[in-house]
Amino acid sequence: MISIAFIGFWLFVLVCLILLWGVVERSKAEGGNAKIAYSDLFQMVEQGQVLDATIMGHDLYGHSKAAPKDRFHTELPANYEDLQKAMLDAKVTFSIREGSILVPLLFNVFPYFVLFLLVVPPFWAIFKKAGFQPVFSLLILVPLVNIAVLYALAFTKWNAASPPQS
């Protein structure tokens, strides 16, 4: 029989591997790129020096015609429609790729998931042994309420059954 701890462990390993994959992919995309200013990129596009470009979120990666093997990187402002028009006019091959929401979502949600897994199960067991509804253990996750719950748990009379006498 497979236990919940076994499933939780492998789920944790899977999430860690996904996060690691995201970090590696991001470092591959940024590694070895010459960083140039947006104004310099705009001038290069107007002068016909840009071979191709890929826009990912607020980052632009591309190759110049002078050194097609060397990549450059530019951080784009919030509004870069003028650059898109200039690239179309200069016949620069470019694509716009939407960034994956999975990696930022995991980086933002994962700590709360770990907190949930580390904090709730022990309090679930404590509430159950104390004779209270175990669902109240979820209140431990609410800031400031968790302090009140700890005081209530510590100083109220527990309705737990006494251990059997041997």
Q: Is the pLDDT assigned to residue 62 strictly greater than 70?
A: yes
Q: Is the pLDDT assigned to residue 43 strictly greater than 90?
A: yes
Confidence of residue 32 (pLDDT cuts 50, 70, 90): low
- Interatomic CA distance for residues 98 and 56, integer angstroms: 6
71 strand-pairing partners: 63
Confidence of residue 30 (pLDDT cuts 50, 70, 90): low
User: Which helix (DSSP H) or strand (DSSP E) does residue 89 occupy?
Assistant: helix 81-89
Q: What is the pLDDT of residue 122?
A: 92
pTM for the model stands at 0.45
The closest alpha carbon to 87, from 102, 74, 98, belongs to 74
The closest alpha carbon to 74, from 102, 44, 38, 45, belongs to 38
Confidence of residue 127 (pLDDT cuts 50, 70, 90): very high
Give the torsion through C-alpha atoms of 14, 17, 23, 29, to 10 deg: -100
The closest alpha carbon to 25, from 76, 100, 94, 93, belongs to 100
The closest alpha carbon to 90, from 37, 45, 149, belongs to 45
Residue type, 45: V
β pairing state of 59-64 and 93-97 = unpaired
Q: What is the pLDDT of residue 85?
A: 92
Residue of higher predicted confidence among 15 and 45: 45
pLDDT digits (tens, 9 = 90+) for 135-164: 999 999 888 999 999 998 899 888 865 666
